[in-house]
Structure 1
């Protein structure tokens, strides 16, 4: 009898312990979810900046990512310094067609000579941001490529690359042996931390391809970050990532858009078509060096992107 009572007490005691453990874990989980939600909302309030363009009197309605509707994104990578708004040394246009499950990524050479919309000048395309911020950069790219830009993502490159350290580094396939000061990047698969990735993305004169080689490396880094950031393991680093993003990124995507984007990107992250300008030439005008696009190639790229932004 006493033994039965003892066993019953032990069972009740174990049950209480398990209930306490489960309850504690549930409480921790709820606190984590609540904190994460608060952090996400706080970060998105800081990041989300609607685009007010500089040209049209009647502004278009803000677009919402729809699973089957094609859309375009302009990524601006800017090296901002104290007392200097910086120039958009990285300009990448991404067009996404969810229905076809395809994505195209175009790098625009920073020295491309074109009309700066809203400034009444012809200058290097990366000066548009310096003259009029994101709105003027978007207007100028729209005019240059003859396509609508639905979204933008502004990135302060130095700060943004802190995310790479938060992610534990990124791995890319380097297509050329490169050395810059004490930094050496062998050909083949390499893993980079934030500082190594920043130097890697800036190398220009050490690469015989010049700015085109740099564009390739910048796209590789962006793709690697996107891919690693979309893995489940990054959830444990979400708070740190959000803090870095809040300080260094601006965009006109909403939380709902980003959730849609994640599901869309997972379906096509291995099918990103890289497009680049290859037939233009360098030219000095009034002692300033410009990249002059080949008109036929430019028109082909414009047509390609426009077609990609059409539904079936």
Structure 2
């Protein structure tokens, strides 16, 4: 009898241990509202008492054993997903660094195969653009070679790359964030050159500290979309520039799109204008500062998304529905005027296209906001629960934010608490195309968009109205 009693308490003890682990993870993640959490604790306690009673009293022992085993399996899986959620959210949240990859580039036919073979080479670097990172890379090269290196400075990329091409210098130092810009002029750059060494430079983002209570106060989030391969934390041109004004009390979101070619002064350019997309090369903090100045607002947070992996997120959501103002084709897909149900690949084609429209990049910005609207609608619906694991897998490494883990979980908790839908509206600023010299590429005029003052003024008013709504 004593032996039977001892065996009888093994399952209740196992159930108790798993229940405690499960509840600790729930409390630690803090995304379950009390109206669900308290009944959950009561039910788990009652089931533990029931299991213990059935095993010790021999009344319904078999049924109690089945219930206990089933409950333990459910809680083990639940604990796994809770832990996985916390790991993913920690990975994407609280990011306050920017990463620059500085490459030492030689001609493809150059006989040198390592940095140690470049002792007698003349290195070409930019005189002012990204000079800080260039100097850091030169310092690392000197350490590796154990000697001083010969350096020639250039005022622009055209003369720097041209000097490499014609043999005036043996190697150049280039921030990989500029590669796409260089390729626009030197179409054969990737084919004619190769990277012999690369140095990773990390630095802190220069962002103001936010004192926002995200479930009570209105706030602005800068959504930056990079359309390139590589780590999400690397600096690079931002092709998507959207400010999300979020009012949690009114459950209202205003998306304001700014064209990538908008011609604006950067915080670091001493008044000289540049394309908005180029601001991202210097870090997302420079993009934020540029937009804060344009709209005369504070941007409290940022979210950086890699659009090359957007299709994975969309497919994890089970597809989205977007509205198209026009009928057009892109990437082998046809989009009708009106609502379209899209999978990941279709969404990527829809959000990238600009040549099918008279307004070009302006319309692309509107389509990108439609994609975000579709994602918000799907992500805040109850149906999201059954796709939870796929979504966790898709977002890891595809976007990052400076919002803290606690701020993210408090927003999730608020949404779970009522599951009420959000109203999402959009607005875009416009401008006129022109060709101008830019801060990042002074040697030749590039296509830019001169801001339309009236549309910017309207955008400011709408953002302020959204911030004040419900007060």
> What's the TM-score, normalizing by structure 1?
0.84
Say whether residues 1:274 and 2:274 are aligned partners: no
Hey, what's the Cα distance between the residues in 1 that align with 2:251 and 2:77? 34
Say whether residues 1:47 and 2:195 are aligned partners: no
Q: Which residue of 1 aligns with 2:329?
A: 179
Hey, what's the Cα distance between the residues in 2 that align with 1:227 and 1:191? 13
Q: Which residue of 2 aligns with 1:141?
A: 291
Say whether residues 1:29 and 2:74 are aligned partners: yes
Hey, what's the Cα distance between the residues in 1 that align with 2:86 and 2:250? 32
Moved more, 157-166 or 79-88: 79-88
Moved more, 198-207 or 134-143: 134-143
Secondary structure in 2 matching 1:153: strand
Hey, what's the Cα distance between the residues in 1 that align with 2:453 and 2:376? 32
Q: Which residue of 2 aligns with 1:164?
A: 314
Is the Cα contact below 8 Å between 2:97 and 2:204 reproduced in 1? no
- 1:9-28 to 2 correspondences below 5 Å: 15-28=60-73
Query: 1:266/1:91 Cα in 2 relative to 1: closer, same or farther (>3 Å)?
Result: farther
Query: 1:55/1:204 Cα in 2 relative to 1: closer, same or farther (>3 Å)?
Result: same
Q: Which residue of 2 aligns with 1:69?
A: 217
The answer for unaligned runs of 5 or more in structure 2 is 1-56, 99-202, 438-444
Say which one has the larger Rg: 2
Is the Cα contact below 8 Å between 1:183 and 1:196 reproduced in 2? yes
Q: Which residue of 1 aligns with 2:248?
A: 98
Hey, what's the Cα distance between the residues in 1 that align with 2:465 and 2:325? 30
Moved more, 110-119 or 294-303: 294-303
Is the Cα contact below 8 Å between 1:102 and 1:268 reproduced in 2? no
Query: 1:304/1:219 Cα in 2 relative to 1: closer, same or farther (>3 Å)?
Result: closer
Secondary structure in 2 matching 1:301: helix
Hey, what's the Cα distance between the residues in 2 that align with 1:167 and 1:296? 38
Hey, what's the Cα distance between the residues in 2 that align with 1:107 and 1:22? 53
Secondary structure in 2 matching 1:155: strand
Is the Cα contact below 8 Å between 1:64 and 1:257 reproduced in 2? no
Q: Which residue of 2 aligns with 1:258?
A: 408
Secondary structure in 2 matching 1:65: coil
Deviation at 1:129, TM superposition (A): 0.7
Deviation at 1:123, TM superposition (A): 0.3
Q: Which residue of 2 aligns with 1:5?
A: none
Q: Which residue of 1 aligns with 2:446?
A: 288
Query: 1:56/1:82 Cα in 2 relative to 1: closer, same or farther (>3 Å)?
Result: closer
Count of residues paired in the alignment: 297
> What's the TM-score, normalizing by structure 2?
0.57
Query: 1:21/1:234 Cα in 2 relative to 1: closer, same or farther (>3 Å)?
Result: farther
Deviations 1:258-283 (A, max 9, x none): 244343695452x22311114x2111
Query: 1:72/1:266 Cα in 2 relative to 1: closer, same or farther (>3 Å)?
Result: farther
